A and B are shown apart, each in its own frame.
Chain A
Amino acid sequence: MTSTSVDREPPTPEPASGESASREPVIRELGTLAHRLRLHHPPETPCTCRPPQLLADRPDGTVVRSGPVVAKAHAADIDRDALAARLALASAPTLSGILLAPLTTPGAPDTAGAVPRPVTFWPYGTPVDPRDPDAAPWADAAVLLARLHRTVSPLPLPAPPMRGPVKAARAVARMVGALPGDAEVLPVQAAWHALPAWARGEAAPPAARSGFLCHGDLHLGQLVRHPAPDGPWLLIDVDDAGLGDPAWDLARPAAWYAAGVLAPEDWLLFLDAYRSAGGPAVPAEGDPWPQLDVPARALTVQTAAVALAKCAAEGREPDEMEQLMIDSCARIATFPPELAAGSAS
Chain B
Amino acid sequence: MMQCPKCHAQMQTYNRNGVQIEQCSGCRGIFLDYGELESLTRLESQWAQQAPPPPPAPQAYPQAAPPAHAPAWGAPQYGQQHGGHYGHRRQKGFGRMLFSS
CB atoms of B68 and A328 under 8 A apart? no
Asked whether any CB of chain B lies closer than 8 Å to the CB of A287, the reply is yes
A302 to B77, CA, bound (A): 22
Minimum Cβ distance to chain A for residue B52 (Å):
8
Asked whether any CB of chain A lies closer than 8 Å to the CB of B70, the reply is yes
Asked whether any CB of chain B lies closer than 8 Å to the CB of A148, the reply is no
* Residues of A contacting B86 in the complex (Cβ-Cβ under 8 angstroms): 263, 265
CB atoms of A328 and B69 under 8 A apart? no
**Given known A-B contacts A219-B99, A264-B61, A258 and B54 have beta carbons under 8 A apart:** no
Residues of A within 8 Å of B, CB-based: how many? 54
CB atoms of B101 and A2 under 8 A apart? yes
Selecting from A65-73, A78-86, A202-210, A332-340, the interface stretch reads: A332-340
Interface string of A197-221 (1 = CB under 8 A from B): 0000000000000000000010111
Q: Please, which residue of chain A has its CB at the minimum distance from the CB of B67?
A: A264
Q: How many A-B residue pairs have CB under 8 A?
A: 119
CB atoms of B90 and A3 under 8 A apart? no
Partner of A321, one of B61, B70, B93: B93
Asked whether any CB of chain A lies closer than 8 Å to the CB of B18, the reply is no
Interface residues of B in 49-76 (CB under 8 A from A): 51, 54-55, 57-58, 60-61, 68-75
* Residues of B contacting A221 in the complex (Cβ-Cβ under 8 angstroms): 99-100
CB atoms of B58 and A5 under 8 A apart? no
Q: Please, which residue of chain A has its CB at the minimum distance from the CB of B54?
A: A331
* Residues of B contacting A260 in the complex (Cβ-Cβ under 8 angstroms): 57-58, 60-61, 75, 77
Taking A130-B95, A263-B93 as known contacts, 12 extra A-B pairs with beta carbons closer than 8 A to each other, sorted by chain A number, are A133-B90, A136-B94, A219-B100, A258-B71, A261-B98, A263-B89, A268-B68, A289-B70, A296-B71, A330-B54, A331-B57, A334-B73
